[in-house]
Amino acid sequence: MRQSVNGAAERRSRGIGRRGLLGGGLGAGLAVGLGGPAVAAPGAAPSDAEIHRRFNPRSWRSVRDQFRLSRDYLQFSAFVLASHPAGVRLSIDEHRRRLDVDPYAYGAFRNDMDRSKGIRERLGAYLNVPAGEIALTDSTTMGLGVIYTGLDLSPGDEVLTLDRGFFGTDEALRVRALSTGITVRKFALFDQPENATAEMMVDRMRAAVTPRTRLLAVDWIQSSTGVKLPIRMMADALAVINETRDEADRVLLSVDGVQGVGVEDIDLAALGADFFISGLHKWMLGPRGTGFVWAPAANWARVHPIIPSFSEASILSWFYGKPWPGPPGDWNSPGGFHSFEHRWAVPAILDFHEAIGKDRVAARTLSQAARLKYGLSRIPGVTVKTPADPAVSSALTCCAVDGYTSEQVVGRLKEEFRIETTASEYQESFVRIGPSIVTTPDEVDQLVRAVHQISRT
């Protein structure tokens, strides 16, 4: 069947209007019922509905009980890819069930548009930015592609990035350089991560910027070292540089924030990033396959959507053959049908975090991280590679043990002490530890004792 322009003309001549085109799904406001028996049979494992019903957000034990994470190991790498709390599992199950019954009616355009709008509103409230400026993605990496492929850059423009940054940023920029002839230059914010300070990082950034620099692409918290970049100070220093530049020549600051979302008590409006890119399936513990990009509207105006969105504005523009106004976050949300049961369960993870309190999540996580860094720092032969100063460190903690590779330490922690950690997969690999709301201060102490034993034998 001939599609596109002919299809649109045909529908116009048959008088199919906006509702007809977009109204093929169910309306907004469909409450997700939490299916399944509320109480398990005696002796049976509790159902998700029962686990969810028992949730007491004031109790950290109850928070941990919301997860089916194995108790065979202490879970210090749970942030790598989320395990879902019961509320998210229930929401996913309910959407999946309804999609399986009638995917067209339940999954068609209108339902997704309404739900996506609701998700952007919830995320906007959580992040403290306008909902219309949030694009929905399937991952951080997809968001990096949205910005680094779509941003208006010209041959000869320079992009700066970091020598220990996430490989997805490097790859997105490498490919962009091939297609557009931009220059990508890496530089170091510090020599040894453990000695990094905010002032040093800002000074090095200032020295790296040249008249041709248009973009600085960084991670908020580096997964290679655990160093947290002083984004606000960097943004302020760039603002001084940008004062003497034309609007089009400004240096934009783009931040991959995935290692901080769900850890830090985040306020995006105050952070200072020009673009902020994250997944929701690491520390946030949200549905696997979900993420977002935020930018102020003026910065979105410099980005071309790289994948057609299935937004109302984009479909109506196509239908009526003229640009249809719509929020930039909508335009820049890559379209196509998604694994909707996961995307539409995002509100359930926001419910979870809001019930506990964003500030309490941050305090619980960061206090364990401080305890961990202190404990490790007292072990002879162990170097904590992540600085102790909370201004430049977060939850993710890296260390090295004399005489061992990081893989050896991670292997021994798992086999001998039943503790799950990871080795950072970078040129220089460190043991990477993630205390979080599914670990406890006692478990942190166990981990420190285990590292101590390993360092002695």
Ligand X SMILES: Cc1ncc(COP(=O)(O)O)c(C=O)c1O
Tokens of 153: 């850059």
Using a 10 angstrom Cβ sphere, with 0-12 exposed, 13-18 middle and 19 or more buried, the burial of residue 44 is exposed
- Among 112, 133, 256, 341, contact with ligand X (rule: CB under 6 A): 256
The end-to-end CA distance of the chain, in Å, is 71
The 10 Å Cβ neighbour count of residue 133 is: 24
| Stretch (H or E) spanning 240 | helix 231-243
DSSP 3-state assignment of 310? coil
As measured in angstroms, the least distance from the Cβ of 34 to ligand X is 27
Residue placing its CB nearer to ligand X in the complex, 93 or 219: 219
Residue placing its CB nearer to ligand X in the complex, 129 or 280: 280
Residue placing its CB nearer to ligand X in the complex, 52 or 282: 282
| Stretch (H or E) spanning 314 | helix 312-320
Residue placing its CB nearer to ligand X in the complex, 139 or 397: 139
Q: Give the Cα separation of 144 and 195 in Å (integer).
A: 29
As measured in angstroms, the least distance from the Cβ of 295 to ligand X is 17
Q: Which stretch binds ligand X (CB under 6 A): 134-142, 193-201, 330-338, 349-357?
A: 134-142
As measured in angstroms, the least distance from the Cβ of 246 to ligand X is 32
Q: Using alpha carbons, select from 352, 260, 284, 346 the residue that is nearest to residue 63.
A: 352
141 binds ligand X (CB under 6 A): yes
Q: Give the Cα separation of 37 and 52 in Å (integer).
A: 12
87 binds ligand X (CB under 6 A): no
Q: Which stretch binds ligand X (CB under 6 A): 14-22, 118-126, 128-136, 251-259?
A: 251-259
Q: Give the Cα separation of 179 and 87 in Å (integer).
A: 44
Q: Which stretch binds ligand X (CB under 6 A): 27-35, 139-147, 322-330, 372-380?
A: 139-147
- Among 66, 111, 140, 333, contact with ligand X (rule: CB under 6 A): 140
Place of tokens 């940008």: 242
| Stretch (H or E) spanning 292 | strand 291-294
DSSP 3-state assignment of 308? coil
Residue nearest ligand X, CB atom distance: 279
Residue placing its CB nearer to ligand X in the complex, 250 or 281: 281
Q: Which stretch binds ligand X (CB under 6 A): 127-135, 252-260, 406-414, 426-434?
A: 252-260
Query: Are 256 and 169 contacting, i.e. CB atoms less than 8 angstroms apart?
Result: yes
* 258 CB-side CA count, 13 A: 30
Q: Which stretch binds ligand X (CB under 6 A): 15-23, 56-64, 133-141, 176-184?
A: 133-141
- Among 259, 393, 436, 439, contact with ligand X (rule: CB under 6 A): 259
Q: Which stretch binds ligand X (CB under 6 A): 40-48, 135-143, 310-318, 384-392?
A: 135-143
Binding flags for ligand X, 144-183, as an x/- string (CB under 6 A): ----------------------x-x---------------
Residue placing its CB nearer to ligand X in the complex, 259 or 386: 259
Q: Using alpha carbons, select from 163, 166, 137 the residue that is nearest to residue 150.
A: 137
Binding flags for ligand X, 191-220, as an x/- string (CB under 6 A): ----------------------------x-
The 10 Å Cβ neighbour count of residue 166 is: 23
223 binds ligand X (CB under 6 A): yes
- Calculate the alpha carbon distances from 98 to 104, 112, 335 in Å: 10, 13, 21
406 binds ligand X (CB under 6 A): no
- Among 91, 116, 139, 422, contact with ligand X (rule: CB under 6 A): 139
254 binds ligand X (CB under 6 A): no
- Among 25, 145, 287, 291, contact with ligand X (rule: CB under 6 A): 291
As measured in angstroms, the least distance from the Cβ of 169 to ligand X is 7
As measured in angstroms, the least distance from the Cβ of 211 to ligand X is 29
- Among 123, 205, 235, 258, contact with ligand X (rule: CB under 6 A): 258
Instruction: List, as one string, the DSSP characters of 155-210.
Output: TT-EEEEETT--HHHHHHHHHHHHHH--EEEEE-S-SSGGG--HHHHHHHHHHH--
The 10 Å Cβ neighbour count of residue 175 is: 13
For residue 44, the 8-state DSSP code is S
Q: Give the Cα separation of 406 and 423 in Å (integer).
A: 6
As measured in angstroms, the least distance from the Cβ of 279 to ligand X is 3
Tokens of 23: 């109204």
329 binds ligand X (CB under 6 A): no
Q: Which stretch binds ligand X (CB under 6 A): 65-73, 138-146, 196-204, 337-345?
A: 138-146
Residue placing its CB nearer to ligand X in the complex, 172 or 448: 172
Q: Give the Cα separation of 81 and 45 in Å (integer).
A: 24
Please give the residue ranges that form the binding site for ligand X (CB under 6 A): 139-141, 166, 168, 219, 223, 256, 258-259, 279, 291
